[in-house]
Amino acid sequence: MTGRIRAWTLGACGLGAALIGWWLLSLALAGGGGVISRLPPPFAVGAKLIAYARTDLAADLLASLKVFAAGWVAGVILATIAGVMLGRVRTLGRIFLPLVEAIRPVSSIAWVPLSIVWFGFGFTSKMFLVGLAVFLVVIVYAVDGSTRIAPELSRTAAMLGMNAWQRFRNLVLPGVLSEVFIGSRVSLMTGWGTVIVAELVAADAGLGAHLIGVQQSYDVAAVVAAMICFGASGFVMNALFSAVEARLMPWRQPAGQDE
Amino acid sequence: MADDTAATAAGTMRKAGVGRAVPGSRVLLPLAGIAFACAIWQLTVVVYDLPVIVLPPPWAVATSLSELVRSAAFWRDVGVSLFEFVCGYALGTIAGIAVGALMAESRFFRMTATPVIESLRFIVPFAWIPLTVLWFGTSYTGKILLVAYAVFFVMTVSTARSVMHVDPTLTRVGTMLGMSRIELALRVHLRAAAPAIASAARAAAAVGWIAVVAAEYVGASAGLGVLITNAATSLQTGHVLAGMVVIGLIGAGVSGLIRRLSRSRLDY
């Protein structure tokens, strides 16, 4: 228990030190010296954050989350279906998996200009980008989950005389779904990052559009405030999903918490 | 990231087994896949009678690519992007490994730094792009720092994790041999964690390379990101696709290079 208190105190000290360092740095750079033209002090950012929260934050956040949720759900579902098909049907897998591997290094960020040419500046183009980003992450997990089935389990299934559908329902599907679940968590941050870039480039709605708007009026404090909104919403999504994951799959240690 | 490597390993194993049964199928079937995809692409263009602006046929993209390769401006863009990437990557990797190792070695430092790192980690590099443009304009500095930032967090988190998971027997052996804490950290822990750190470096390279491209969309005067956004606004979709192919090839090339280096140096 004392170890816990120590960890909390030290953590709070670390955060406090970082904030004080930021404040001192902003004082030192206030005259406009150095490479960084302007660094707003923490209070100014806090004030902007409150002002933003009172006005458009909810609407912007909702617009961004809508794009994200639509793309993420579509990406996960399509990747699961495609992954199972490529993983279970050998020939399909041998034909199309190299194709997937060839597309994967072209991150969805590189698709932004093309997607704007195809779908214009709007909901569809951003949803396409998020869906693509999520798809390319999750399909790896889905293929992996559908090909890696413990041999003793499939021997048992053969011994019990299960037919193809029963085998799929009881052996393949649970394995695939648990892998897809992990892939979905990994893809949360990928998808959220894609939303940011898509909104920065095609700035018509959402947090990213707000970010570009305040950037173009040289309001540095508001830029930092918008960045904090992005970080906080990413953090909340990740925490929620990890909590659900711990609930559904208690045997699995979520990555990053094994200290 | 570890899952990713596991997936690749599983894939290679399975493919190797199949290749033995039907010789040549490992080359032929992927080629068939690519040919099939190109055929569908071509058919879509023909059947729906798509204009070149929307989707140029495969051969048009190949022509654009060969046009690009012959122009000097293209090589300048590639050079600028690669320069920004390499500088930022080196900076971020070295700083990330140093901070990560320090976090793993010192309980005090770990407890103090973790909340700061965790809260910054969720502000993804892309969210920093507008700020770096305000601070550093369209210069290389902003992009180099952005890549360093992106790479730093991947490297810190995975270095700390893999150093802390080093077999405790090794630490005990080192202590018995009379090594100091610094010697133990540098000569035992980092050495033992090196393969895991190398695979994190590969994942970080992918993140950093994409950060360069994304940063170039918003504020830059040269680079591959500028190349494809300019091509998109002038509706030269063939050049956009060719640029995407180049971005993918460089990304895959960098990742392959790091894998090859880590295999030849860290094969234990």
Residue recorded with tokens 């070695």: B105
How far is residue A58 CA from its own chain's centroid?
A: 20
Residue at A220: amino acid letter: V
Q: What is the mean pLDDT of chain A?
A: 83
Mean pLDDT (whole number) for A73-77: 94
Contact residues on chain B for A241, CB-CB shorter than 8 A? none
Whether residue A60 contacts residue A113, with contact meaning beta carbons closer than 8 Å, is answered with no
Selection from B231, B219, B209, B238 nearest residue B85 by Cα: B209
Q: Is the predicted pLDDT of residue A75 greater than 80, yes or no? A: yes
Candidate from B115, B125, B130 with C-beta closest to A15: B115
Count Cβ–Cβ pairs < 8 Å, chain A vs chain B: 185
- Give A40-248's CATH code, choosing from 3.40.190.10, 3.40.1710.10, 3.30.1360.150, 1.10.3720.10: 1.10.3720.10
Among A19, A95, A115, A219, the residue to mutate for chain B (most B Cβ within 10 A): A95
Residue A259: the pLDDT is 31
How far is residue B215 CA from its own chain's centroid?
A: 15
ipTM given for this complex: 0.81
**What percent of chain A is predicted at pLDDT more than 70?**
93
pLDDT, one tens digit per residue, over B98-142 is 999 999 988 888 888 888 888 888 888 888 988 888 888 888 888
**Topology at the third CATH level for domain B71-265:** MetI-like fold (1.10.3720)
> Cβ of A246 under 8 Å from any chain B Cβ?
no
Q: Please state, in angstroms and as integers, the Cα–Cα distance from residue B63 to each residue in B68, B136, B239, following that order.
A: 9, 37, 9
Selection from A196, A192, A226 nearest residue A211 by Cα: A226
pLDDT, one tens digit per residue, over B202-248 is 889 988 998 898 888 887 788 888 888 888 888 888 888 999 989 98
> Cβ of A18 under 8 Å from any chain B Cβ?
yes
Q: How far is Cα B133 from Cα B221, in angstroms, rounded to an integer? A: 12
Name the residue ranges covered by the structural domains of chain A. Answer: 1-30, 40-248
**Residues of A numbered 102-131 whose beta carbons fall under 8 angstroms of chain B's beta carbons: which are they?**
102-103, 105-107, 109-114, 116-118
Contact residues on chain A for B141, CB-CB shorter than 8 A? 35
Q: Cα dihedral angle (B41, A101, B88, B123), rounded to 10 degrees?
A: 90
Residue B90: the pLDDT is 95
pLDDT, one tens digit per residue, over A213-239 is 888 888 888 888 999 998 999 889 988
pTM of structure = 0.82
pLDDT, one tens digit per residue, over B207-216 is 899 889 888 8
Q: Burial of B139 by CB count in 10 Å (0-12 exposed, 13-18 middle, 19+ buried)?
A: middle
Pairwise CB contact (< 8 Å): B114 & A11: yes
